[in-house]
Structure 1
């Protein structure tokens, strides 16, 4: 028997599988937005960073647990504002993850959605990707191509967040 999100049963047979549908749906939405934007190959680490950052935004902004296809369109502006350059997205994610973790601890019921969101958040924070150094000043006046110039190791969330924002904007 499959259950969505936080729904559980206490049937005598036990062994029910709780499926993290809320996380899977958030990840699907993020994947579709990024693919529609056609910003990078879906097999790249940058794509994964964008998908995970956007999926976290979608998942954690759904405070009612009722994200549906009709609500996706109405949430686009909210997601745009959450992922904007001047917003404290990292702090917002950390705060929302802490809230959800506290709720799960008080309910004493495992939350598979939160577990997958936590895995994505850890990957985004702990993984660094080699990216162009946007703060570097080109020397000698020679224009640099896309793959030329200095590069710097950057946390995955710092690459993924603007990609997610741009994907929403292009949708």
Structure 2
């Protein structure tokens, strides 16, 4: 299965609409994981942030020329490592997007991944301050809220959802 196909025009060079199959598979998998975890309401801003963060992680962890869909069952540990709290996720995303750009140019999968990253980076959400606690063992005071880029809320949601799958 090729990572991209067309709407029946016989190939991407035949003038048909390119379908971003790799991105759609990653987003479908992320949606299933988040819905199964049931941590936030589907359709909420928090859900969208988690969906985009997990879809980006799934999509960018895959090799660009790898078979679409063949990775789902065996890559969860890798996705957990990439979404872990102590990992530098934003630089990893930037590096992987740049590598994809350099190796294959702009395709529909890369365009959607770049859009998701831009939205996660540029959208700010008011949420509880998870990093502002002085004692890591103390509970989070949800009344003390700050503005966070959406990825800072979506990434822990994606990670926890993967654990609960």
Alignment TM class, shorter chain as reference: 0.7 to 0.9
Q: 2:60 matched to 1:66?
A: no
Structure number with bigger Rg: 1
Q: Distance in 1 between the 2:96 and 2:86 partners? A: 18
- Quote the Cα distance in structure 1 between the aligned partners of 2:96 and 2:83: 14
Q: Deviations over 1:34-63 (max 9, x none)?
A: 000000001110100000000000001110
Gaps of 5+ in 1: 138-142
My pick for the range that moved more, 127-136 or 50-59, is 127-136
- TM (norm. structure 2) is 0.85
- For residues 16-75 of structure 1, give each alpha carbon's deviation from its aligned partner in whole angstroms, at most 9, with x where no partner exists: 11100110110001111000000000111010000000000000111043132x531100
| Residue 27 of structure 2 is aligned to residue 27 of structure 1 | yes
1:100-139 per-position Cα deviation (integer Å, ceiling 9, x unaligned): 111233xxxx4000000000000000000000123267xx
**1:161 alignment partner, one of 140, 147, 155:** 155
TM-superposed deviation, 1:9: 4.3
In structure 2, the residue corresponding to 1:86 is in which secondary structure? coil
Runs of 5+ unmatched residues, structure 2: none
Q: Name the structure 1 match of 2:114.
A: 118
User: 1-side partners of 2:67 and 2:88: how far apart?
Assistant: 25
Higher normalized contact order (CA 8 Å, seq sep 6+, divided by chain length)? 1
Residues 1-171 of structure 1: pairs in structure 2 closer than 5 A: 4-5=3-4, 8-10=11-13, 14-63=14-63, 64-68=65-69, 71-105=71-105, 110-134=106-130, 135=132, 146=142, 149-171=143-165
Q: What TM-score comes out, normalization by structure 1 length? A: 0.82
Distance in 1 (alpha carbons) for counterparts of 2:33 and 2:140:
30
Q: Distance in 1 between matches of 2:77 and 2:89?
A: 15
Structure 1 runs of 4+ aligned residues shifted over 4 Å read 6-9, 143-146
